[in-house]
Amino acid sequence: MTWGAVLAVKPLSAAKSRLGGSDEDRGGLVLAMLDDVLAAVTAAGLVALVVTPDPEIASLAAGAGARAVGEPAGAAGLNAAFQHGQRALLERVSAVSSVVFLQADLPALTATQLRSALAAHTRLVETESAQSFVADSTGTGTAALLRPADLPDAPFFGSDSAAAHRRAGAHDLVARAAEAAGWTGLRRDVDTRADLADAARIGVGPATSRWLRARS
Phi, psi of 213 (to 5 degrees): -65, -35
Q: CA of 207: how far to CAs of 28, 123, 189, 203, in Å?
A: 10, 33, 16, 12
Binding residue positions: 142, 158, 161
Q: Can you give the pTM of this predicted structure?
A: 0.96
The pLDDT of residue 92 is 96
Alpha carbons 152 and 97: distance in angstroms, whole number: 13
**Mean pLDDT in consecutive groups of 10 residues from the start of the chain, 216 residues:** 94 86 90 98 98 97 98 87 97 96 98 98 84 98 97 95 97 97 98 96 98 92
Alpha carbons 171 and 121: distance in angstroms, whole number: 8
Identify the CA nearest to 4 among candidates 74, 124, 102, 72. 102
The pLDDT of residue 1 is 78
DSSP structure string for 3-40: EEEEEE---GGGS-GGG-S-HHHHHHHHHHHHHHHHHH
Binding residue positions for phosphoenolpyruvate: 142, 158, 161
DSSP structure string for 104-134: S--TT--HHHHHHHHHHHHHH--STT--EEE
The pLDDT of residue 74 is 79
Virtual CA dihedral for 138, 3, 211, 22, nearest 10 degrees? -70
The one-letter code for the residue type at 73 is: A
The pLDDT of residue 76 is 79
Alpha carbons 112 and 199: distance in angstroms, whole number: 16
Domains of the chain are 3-213 (3.90.550.10)
The pLDDT of residue 106 is 98
The pLDDT of residue 157 is 97
The pLDDT of residue 103 is 98
The pLDDT of residue 149 is 95
| CA pseudo-torsion sign 1, 147, 50, 143 | negative
Other CB atoms within 10 Å distance of the CB of residue 196 = 22
